[in-house]
Structure 1
Amino acid sequence: MNPVRSISAALAGAALVMGAAAFVPHASSAPIPARGAAARDTAVFAGGCFWSMEKAFEHVPGVVSAVSGYAGGSVANPSYEQVGSGRTGHAESVQVVFDPARTSYDKLLDVYWHNIDPISANGQICDHGPEYRSIVFFRNAGQRRAAEASKAVVQRHFTRPVTTEIDAATPFYAAEEYHQDFAERNPDHYNAYRRGCGRDARLHELWGDAAGGSH
C-alpha cells in the first residue's frame, strides 16, 4: 500500500467518517438497473490506483458512471486495508457503465491503455504490489475478443512484453465511500499524489502526445 495514498485516503476518510462508516461494499457483476439501463453496458478495468482510473473514464462522452472498487480476488466484500495487504487477490479496479449508442467498448479500451503502463509488472508507476496490477476483465466473448485484439496492437508499440492480463470478470466490490470521486472531491490531495507518483511523466514517456492526462 502506497504510504502517500494511505495518508491522503485517511485525511479524506476523516472528513467523511460518518458516511464511510455507514457504507458497506457490495458485489456487482452489472450496474444497478436504471432508466434506459437496457441500452447500457459495463466494463471493468484494473490499472493501478483506482482514483486515477476513475478520473480517466468519468468524463469520457458516453460514460454514465465510473465506480472505484475491487475485482479479481477471492474474499467477499474486502476492505481497502485487506486489499492493500495483497492477501485477498483483488486489484484496485473501476467499473465503467456506458451507453453503447454514444461510445464503444473499443473506445474505452483505447482510453484504458493510454492511461496505464502496460509493460510494468506487479504494479503501476509508483504503486507496487499485486493489488495494483493491470487487468482487463471481460464480461462476454465479444469483450474478450476486443481486449485481446487491442492488447496485440499495444504490443506492437513496445519491445518489452505487455504484462496486462486479460481475465474473465469476477465479482466487483465497490470501494468505500471516501474513495469514490476522490480526485473530484479532494483535488489537492489527489494532485499531490499524482505529481509525487510521476504518473503523467511516465505516461508521456510511454505514449507521447497520445498519453492520458489528468483531465
Structure 2
Amino acid sequence: MPTSARPRLDRPRILDAAQAIAETEGVAAVTMRRIGTALGSDPTAVYRHFASKDELLRELADRLFGTLPDADPALGWRETMKAELRHALNRYRHHPDLALLLATQPDDTPSLQAIADRMLGLLRERGLSDADAARFTQVLENHVVGTGLYYAANGNELRDATAMRRVYALLDETTHPHAAAVAPHLFPDLDATFDLATDALLDAIEAHADPTKKDR
C-alpha cells in the first residue's frame, strides 16, 4: 500500500512546529534542526522559507503576541480597555523568552498593526481626536511593554519584596528620610501596581474625551 504524500512544507507549518516546541520545551529548544526533525524534513528545507533562526523567531513572536481578547459586548468602554491592557500584559507573562525579541522589532508587523488598529479604534470611539488617540496609544503601549518586560526579566514576580523593604527601612533617616518612612509600603504587588497605573491612564484619557461620548 503506497504511503501518503508528506504535507508540503510552508511557513505556517514551520511556525506551527516551532510554536509547539517553544510551548513544550522552551524557546531555547527551537532550532532549525529540531524543527526539521519534528516535521520529518531536512533542516536545510526550513532555510528555504526562513533565512535564519532569528527571522523565524521574530515571526513566531509576532504570531504569539498577536492574540486578541474575546470582545464582551456587555462591558462598558472602561472595562473593555482594562481587559485589553491586561490581555496585552499577559502576552509577556506567557512568553517571556520572546518578549524582548518582540519589543525590539519594528511596529509594522501584521499582528502589531492589528493591535494598534484595535486600540486606536477604541480611543476614537471614546471621543478622542485623532492626534490624542495616536498619543495615548503610544502611552498605553509604553505602559504595557515596560511592565511586560519587567515581568519577563524577573520571572513574573518581584524579587523578595519583603527583604527590599527591610533594606529601605534601615536607611539613615537623615539622608533618606522619605524612603525610610515609606519603606513598609514600597515594592507593592506588581499586578495591583499595573491596575493602579491603568486606572490613572484611563482617567487621563477620559479627561481628553469628547464629553458627549462619555459613558462609565
More helix by share: 2
Indicate whether the TM-score tops 0.5.
no
Q: Which has the larger radius of gyration?
A: 2
Structure with bigger RCO (C-alpha 8 Å, 6+ apart)? 1
**Structure 1 length normalisation: TM-score?**
0.28
More strand by share: 1
